[in-house]
Amino acid sequence: MNHKYEVLIIGGGVVGCAIARELSKYRVSAALLEKEMDVGMGASCRNSGVLHAGFKYAPGSLRARVAVKGNALMDDLCRDLKVKIKRIGKLTVGLDEEDEPTLRHLKEQGDTNGVPGLRVIGREEMQKIQPGVEGYIALHSPSSSIISPYSLTIGLAENALANGVNFHLGQRVESISQQPEKGWHVRTAAGEIFEAQVIINAAGLYSADVSRMAGVDGYTIYPCRGEYYVLDKRLNGTLTALIYPAPKKNAPGWGTHLTPTVDGNILIGPTAQYIKEPENHACTPDILRRLRIEGQKLLPAIQVSDYIRNFAGIRAKQTPPEVGGNKDFVIEDRKDVKGFINLVGLESPGLTASPAIAQMVVEMVGNHLSLVPDPSFNPVRPGSSDFFSELSAEEKADLVAKDPNYGEIICRCEKITKKEILDAINNPLGARTIVSLKYRARASMGRCQGGFCIPRIVRLLRDEFGWRPEDFLKRGVDSPLFVGNVRPEGGQA
């Protein structure tokens, strides 16, 4: 099948979705191609969910500029998209005098980058912000915050869709060619053809490959995996700020730290390990053991029963293991390849920076197409950022009176109602894997990790769509949930 657009975005991570939403403010025909069955299946939903302040990046670098600007854009964006954000601030803690010059340097760098409110503080003040934290000195950054990375990515995509951008899920871009007068010709593994005047490469771990497909060589991505533990909500409230160790020179990440999530869990991690296969998300016993030991040192209250899950995310690094550290983001409107906007190596803080990157990219699109604002653009996504369980008793009673499906709990750990699951099932993007529902409704994110709710969700999906066992997928086409019936339908036990 052939599709024709003015602009095509390749990759439905937080960056691609932010670009889609920014473009939807204009009268432009645009679409996003994503190889997975939902948006956000790459690094964008597998990270710490931290909005970085921007003091760690070299002054004048693109990373510094888009981090500081992206962070500042988040309050309005999250309000409009109904995404949870908590401005809890961060303490970057130096354990002894040796760390003091590093922290003072970070403060100076942050001031130059335009980071608001940075202060170097002593032990007493540090402990007022986070009781019990141990350290000699700390850098306090009030604009460091936490956010739901799933809600942000999905919210951006849904709002872009509502404003006219088409989303083609399950479409892996396989080849790209440019034809004189006709523009770009993009073919996907499903055999679909997409034509466009401008293409935007936001393919994350595969950004160097997509770049090569469009005729731009010279980039390499070195996948670097970060593993995490997720802790039970029993410890919710233990951390009142983000606590990071003072960074060490050329380290590939921040070092192990504890991060509270907006939903009340705590993450331990991420680690940093270069890997060969770009999408090997497996966690490893040795690293998990290390995380348990380091986590326990940072927060002695952790009990064995608090570890409810582990997961990994993979950074799209441009620096090989022997070099370490980071390179600056590549965001370029290629002069040698007309109509190719190339984004490579958007490792951290791509989540924080996504709205600023989107503005920059759309300005570049304006070099190729005339961008006329669309007066019908609606920035607001319907719904609420709160789950039913977070509402007051009166609000809950009102909702149950309006729709009895609010009165039935499907996910017992997270207290997610049948109505919330049905809303997730009927999401505008039509993404219906178990992981898609988990990212939207939080079902199966609690202690039992789906033991109670997944059979009930399966029943809801079967009733809604008449699915056969083979139709249920965990994450994508390669992860079937069932292989068939144990006994023939209507058969005897």
Contact footprint for ligand FAD (CB under 6 A): 10-16, 33-36, 41-44, 46-50, 52, 172-173, 202-206, 210, 226, 270, 313-315, 346-352
Cβ–Cβ < 8 Å for 435, 38? yes
Distance set, CA 16 to CA 4, 101, 361 (Å): 19, 38, 10
**Distance of alpha carbon 332 from alpha carbon 201, whole angstroms:** 10
Q: Half-sphere exposure (CA, 13 Å, Cβ side) for 448?
A: 13
Distance set, CA 246 to CA 13, 90, 215, 489 (Å): 29, 12, 41, 60
Quote the least distance from Cβ 250 to ligand FAD, whole Å. 18
Quote the least distance from Cβ 345 to ligand FAD, whole Å. 9
Cβ–Cβ < 8 Å for 332, 341? yes
Closer CB to ligand FAD, 62 or 409, in the complex: 62
Alpha helices in 82-122 (DSSP H): 100-113
Which helix (H) or strand (E) segment holds residue 331: the answer is strand 330-333
Closer CB to ligand FAD, 232 or 347, in the complex: 347
Cβ–Cβ < 8 Å for 318, 219? yes
**Distance of alpha carbon 174 from alpha carbon 182, whole angstroms:** 19
Closer CB to ligand FAD, 230 or 351, in the complex: 351
Among candidate residues 104, 77, 22, the one with its CA nearest the CA of residue 352: 77
Closer CB to ligand FAD, 42 or 295, in the complex: 42
Strand 145-147 and strand 50-51: the pairing is antiparallel
Q: List the catalytic residue out of 52, 140, 185, 281.
A: 52
Cβ–Cβ < 8 Å for 326, 347? yes
Quote the least distance from Cβ 164 to ligand FAD, whole Å. 20
Closer CB to ligand FAD, 310 or 417, in the complex: 310
Closer CB to ligand FAD, 416 or 431, in the complex: 431
Quote the least distance from Cβ 343 to ligand FAD, whole Å. 7
The residues, any chain, with a CB within 8 Å of residue 348's CB and separated by 6 or more, are: 47, 52, 253, 315
DSSP 378-429: --PPSS-SS-GGGS-HHHHHHHHHH-GGGG-EEETTTTEEHHHHHHHHT-TT
Q: Active site includes 3? A: no
Quote the least distance from Cβ 254 to ligand FAD, whole Å. 9
Question: Which of the residues are catalytic?
Answer: 52
